[in-house]
Amino acid sequence: MKIDSSAFKAPPVPPAGTAPQKTAAAPLPTDAVSLSQAAQTQSTGSKPPVDSAKIQEIKNAIAEGRFRINPEAIADGLIETARELVNSQRKA
């Protein structure tokens, strides 16, 4: 098998002291994004996506050394999330 090396050649370099030629630049492509009605409702909802008071409470508990980790609750949450994921994939 012979490999065509012409695809690997560098473009020609203009001689030193000559100004590069300007070429018309092609217009850049533009992208458009549109949100579904559900996404718009979520992004403009009146309830914030996070509970700032709860976050501050957890930060204070960590700083004061009274934050306790409950591995059983974490495991239960992971299992429930996995169940929801499997069930949603079965419906699709």
What is the reported pLDDT for 11? 64
* pTM of the complete model beyond 0.75: no
65's tokens: 């050394």
Q: Which whole-number Å values give the CA distances from 81 to 50, 61, 85, in the listed order?
A: 19, 26, 6
| 60: containing domain | 51-92
Query: In the structure, what pLDDT confidence band is assigned to residue 45 with cuts at 50, 70 and 90?
Result: low
| CA count, 13 A, side-chain hemisphere, 30 | 3
Domain tally for the chain?
1
CA distance 82 to 92: 16
Residue 61 is assigned to a structural domain of this protein: yes
What is the reported pLDDT for 9? 64
Express each pLDDT in 14-39 by its tens digit: 676 666 666 666 777 788 888 787 77
Residue 88 is assigned to a structural domain of this protein: yes
| CA count, 13 A, side-chain hemisphere, 39 | 4
The residue with tokens 């934050």 is: 67
Express each pLDDT in 47-85 by its tens digit: 667 889 999 999 999 999 999 999 999 999 999 999 999
